[in-house]
Amino acid sequence: MDILAERLNTKLRYWKPDIAKQVRQSIKELIDLADQDALDVMRSKKVEQEVLEMLDEQPKSR
């Protein structure tokens, strides 16, 4: 088994159930995007989210 899969398998057993569930969902989405050759979409969403978070953190001017 790939070292990454082994590490994930180990971590999933030790994480709290809600964390493991979130990780499983994220990995499922990543695999689906990879199967569709659409990983660039995921990167775009990540950058968009980072920009939105930066904008939220900026002080509001009056």
- Along the 62 residues of the chain, how does pLDDT read in single tens digits? 699 999 999 999 999 999 999 999 989 988 888 898 887 776 677 777 888 888 888 776 65
The pLDDT of residue 47 is 76
Is residue 24 within 8 A of residue 12, CB to CB? The reply is yes
The closest alpha carbon to 35, from 43, 27, 25, 23, belongs to 27
The pLDDT of residue 25 is 92
Domain ranges of the chain: 10-57
